[in-house]
Amino acid sequence: MYLNFLFARLMQGLYMRFHITGLVIFLFSFLAFAAKEEKISSFDFSFPTNHSSRNSMAMEPIAVEGLIDSSYKLGPGDFLDIMLEQETLTLQVFSDGSVAIEECGVIQVAGKTLAEVREEILKVASKKYNPDYVFVQLSQMKKFMISVMGAVTKVGQMVVDPQTRLSMALQKANQILGTGRKDDVWVIRKGDTIHVNCVEVFDKGHFEQDILLEQGDRIYVPFVSNLEMIALLFPGGGRLGVPYDSSYTIAQYFERAGGDRMHNMGYQSVTIRYPDNTTKIIPAKEMGKWKVKPQTEIEFSVKTLYVYVGGSVSTIGKIPYESSWHALDYIAASGITTQTGNWSQVTVVRGDQERMKLNVSTDQILPGDYIEIPKSRYETFKDVTMFLASLLSVISTAVVIYVNFK
């Protein structure tokens, strides 16, 4: 009976030990299962983060003119977002123009359109992933290098943003010089040369000619030949060169040089200096009537031009300059009378006090000339007679006083 009691106690101890051990095993199994369930739940309900971390450049906002269609050509520096079933990759196009997808292979994408790249990636990724769940999109467009040479303020290479137009690149190069040909800007692209008339773009708003630049483009602004150039001078020292055109008036040269976009200085006169060193000055309002020869220099002035009239006239002073007027017109405007003035003896003082005789009805008058109308012979004789009479009167008065006091 004692043996039976010992056996019962032993079995009870073993039962309790196994019971406790079972509880411990059950508890650990439950915790492990719960952790696994939590991991599975997290995987199921939260979309996985990018397989490779995004570059900071890819997170910058993209400044674009409009929608990027499938014709966009990829190149080094572009970023692609690729969704492979439940994985998302952000890949940058390498310098050799390729991208690599783990366990799928390397795809050359440079020079191909976005539509072509989608097809290539779909073909390669289908080795491992269901093609129905493969998606490709452009997440960041590349910045690229261009070269600007010729008649610009700042020459050399520059980095430009995607969808940069020709006008934006020229502005970044601090504009075209005054001696540059705005009407014939070259864009050299893969051996071909595109000629762009920037005058049409800047002055007339022909935006279709303001082309989008591509990676590797080279811009060259030709210089205007001095032998076929018209020089325009503006107040403050501004000097611009415009290619000669036999059909152009001064007003058209002014417009082509961008004078309409400058501050309105209130131009009053235009000085024309011809290649033979002769000079012509006209009012600014007559710019549309004058044509010039090659190598002519045109200077715009804000000063009002005058011609000065003196002598035997009713009104002595200055008269606004008119290019079509002759001395006779200025004399008439000053109110000469035929009784006092002498038409045949009119003189003009020009430059360094040079006094010259001229024909009052045909010879040219320049701004700053002083026209002097001498008195007629009758008026001169009358003045001499009056002087002598006054002199005799003074002498006779002096004699009378002297005799009386003596």
Query: How many angstroms separate the CA atoms of 311 and 365, rounded?
Result: 17
Residue 196: what residue type? V
Query: How many angstroms separate the CA atoms of 136 and 116, rounded?
Result: 11
Q: What is the token pair recorded at 181?
A: 């040909």
Query: How many angstroms separate the CA atoms of 398 and 84, rounded?
Result: 129
Q: Is 229 helix (H, G, I), strand (E, B) or coil?
A: strand
Are the CB atoms for 185 and 219 separated by under 8 Å?
yes
Burial state string for 252-274 with b = 16 or more CB within 10 A and e = fewer than 16? ebbbbbbbeeeeeeebbbbbbbe
Q: Could you read off the pLDDT of 324-334 as tens digits, one per residue? A: 788 888 878 87
Are the CB atoms for 90 and 80 separated by under 8 Å?
yes
- Smallest CA-to-CA distance from 246 within 282, 205, 197, 296 is with 296
Q: What is the token pair recorded at 315?
A: 């009104």
Q: Could you read off the pLDDT of 135-145 as tens digits, one per residue? A: 888 888 888 88
Sign of CA dihedral 282, 284, 286, 290: positive
Neighbours of 26 (CB within 10 A): 10
How far apart, in Å, are the Cα atoms of 18 and each of 21, 26, 30, 110, 366?
A: 5, 12, 18, 69, 128
How far apart, in Å, are the Cα atoms of 384 and each of 243, 300, 310, 398, 404?
A: 63, 49, 21, 21, 30
Give the predicted TM-score (pTM) of the model: 0.52
* pLDDT tens per residue across all 406 residues of the chain: 544 544 455 455 545 554 555 555 656 565 555 554 444 444 343 333 344 444 444 455 556 666 676 667 888 888 888 888 888 888 889 888 899 888 888 889 888 888 888 888 888 888 888 888 888 888 888 888 899 999 888 899 998 887 888 988 888 887 787 778 888 899 999 889 999 988 888 877 888 888 888 888 999 999 887 777 888 888 776 777 788 888 889 988 888 777 766 666 678 888 889 988 888 888 888 888 889 988 899 988 887 778 888 877 777 788 888 877 888 888 788 776 655 556 667 888 887 667 778 787 888 888 878 888 776 555 555 555 677 677 778 777 877 787 777 6
Q: What is the token pair recorded at 79?
A: 């970023």
